[in-house]
Amino acid sequence: MPAAIQALYRAACIFAVALSVFAQPPRGCDPPKELQAQRTSKPSSQADNILGAWFAQHGNSRCAISAFESALRADPNSREARYNLGLALLENKQPKRAATELESLVKQAPDSLPAHLGLSMALVDLGALHAAESEARAALKLDSKSAQALHQLGEALRREKRYTAAVTYLHQAVELEPRDAAHQVALAEALNDNGHADEAIQILEKLVAAQPRSALAQSNLGTLLARLKRYDEAGDRDRSV
Which DSSP string do the residues of 141-188 spell out, in sequence order? HH-TT-HHHHHHHHHHHHHTT-HHHHHHHHHHHHHH-TT-HHHHHHHH
Q: Mean pLDDT check: name the lowest of 9-23, 53-67, 92-106, 203-217.
A: 9-23
Amino acid at the residue 189: E
Is 176 exposed, middle or buried, given 0-12, 13-18 or 19+ CB atoms closer than 10 A? middle
Predicted pLDDT at 218 = 85
Phi and psi at residue 105, in whole multiples of 5°? Answer: -65, -40
Amino acid at the residue 23: A
SS3 letters across 106-142: HHHCCCCHHHHHHHHHHHHHHCCHHHHHHHHHHHHHH
Beta-carbon contacts of residue 53 (< 8 Å; ≥ 6 apart): 9, 14, 15, 16, 64, 84
Query: What integer is the mean pLDDT of 159-174?
Result: 98
Is 189 exposed, middle or buried, given 0-12, 13-18 or 19+ CB atoms closer than 10 A? buried
- Which long-range contacts link 160-164 to residues 24+ away (Cβ below 8 Å)? 160/129, 160/130, 160/133, 161/193, 163/190, 163/193, 163/194, 164/194
Beta-carbon contacts of residue 127 (< 8 Å; ≥ 6 apart): none
Predicted pLDDT at 152 = 97
Query: Under a CB-based contact definition with an 8 Å cutoff, are residues 222 and 186 in contact?
Result: no
Predicted pLDDT at 54 = 87
For the chain, the straight-line distance linking the first and the last C-alpha, in angstroms and rounded, comes to: 18
Does the pLDDT at position 151 exceed 90? yes
Predicted pLDDT at 199 = 95
Predicted pLDDT at 224 = 84
Amino acid at the residue 168: T
Is residue 175 very low, low, confident or very high in pLDDT (cuts 50, 70, 90)? very high
Is residue 35 very low, low, confident or very high in pLDDT (cuts 50, 70, 90)? low
Among 101, 97, 58, CA closest to 79: 101
Is residue 21 very low, low, confident or very high in pLDDT (cuts 50, 70, 90)? very low
Residue-wise pLDDT for 70-106, tens only, equals 999 999 999 999 999 999 999 999 999 999 999 999 9
Phi-psi region of 99 (alpha: psi -120 to 50; beta: other; left: phi over 0): alpha
21: DSSP letter: -
Residue-wise pLDDT for 176-195, tens only, equals 999 999 999 999 999 999 99
Predicted pLDDT at 13 = 43
